[in-house]
Copies of this chain bind each other. A is one copy, B any other.
Amino acid sequence: MTRTLTRKGTATRQRIVEGAAAEIRERGVIATTLDDVRARTGTSKSQLFHYFPGGKEELLLAVARHEADRVLSDQQPYLGELTSWPAWLAWRDSVVARYLGQGRRCPLNVLVSQLGRNTPGAQAVVSELMNQWQAEITAGVRHMQHAGAIDPQLDADRAAAALLAGIQGGVLLMLSTGSVSHLEAALDVGIDNLRARFP
């Protein structure tokens, strides 16, 4: 959907999305009603309908996109500056800290499940997040290759795909087991192996 909002309109819409995200983080996606969101954000029914004519589903999709953006912004500035081995390790720590802090409830996972993992809207949010995430890791690998710290023969995008898969699996296992050990193993082994790839 492409719609042009005024600057004030954009701000109001963003305020509703952020309020809904906070409400869902506190109460869960099923318990949160549009009335809860209206009460929290001080918006009228007609305002909510104006910004989200598709109702709760459209709002949930916007919240999912917001949570996906947060996944990436929580890893900054490290993820965007993977230009030295200390920077890679700082990024590794920021990822572990993010998921430790979040605990066993992953808001994005809950939203995607609720929207239906196979619906086009949910798929687009997940695909876009994974593409951006992988692109940033790939850029980091390429930087290290240009700096002479990783073998230039290494397929940077494939290495980034493998590392991203390890992170996703580590987070998934954490949601089931409560332990961050698989996430740490995936990051540590993945980064160790990149470091071992001397030119």
Within the complex, the shortest CB–CB distance from A111 to chain B, in Å, comes to 13
Closest to A175 in B: B117
- In the complex, chain A residues 156-171 whose Cβ is within 8 Å of any chain B Cβ: 158-159, 161-162, 164-171
Q: Is A172 positioned at the interface, with any CB of B under 8 Å from its CB?
A: yes
Q: Are B165 and A170 in contact (CB under 8 A)?
A: yes
- With A118-B104, A126-B176, A172-B172 as given contacts, are A162 and B181 in contact (CB-CB < 8 Å)? no
Q: Interface segment, A9-17, A142-150, A185-193?
A: A185-193
Q: Is A127 positioned at the interface, with any CB of B under 8 Å from its CB?
A: yes
Using C-beta atoms within 8 Å of the partner chain, give the interface range for chain A.
Answer: 35 or more
Q: Are B193 and A165 in contact (CB under 8 A)?
A: no
With A and B bound together, what is the CA distance between A54 and B178 in angstroms?
27
Which residue of B126, B158, B185 is within 8 Å of A165 (Cβ)?
B185
Q: Are B130 and A176 in contact (CB under 8 A)?
A: yes
Closest to A171 in B: B169
Q: List 14 A-B contacts (CB under 8 A).
A: A113-B113, A126-B177, A158-B185, A158-B188, A159-B185, A159-B189, A161-B186, A162-B188, A162-B190, A165-B182, A165-B185, A166-B166, A167-B169, A169-B171
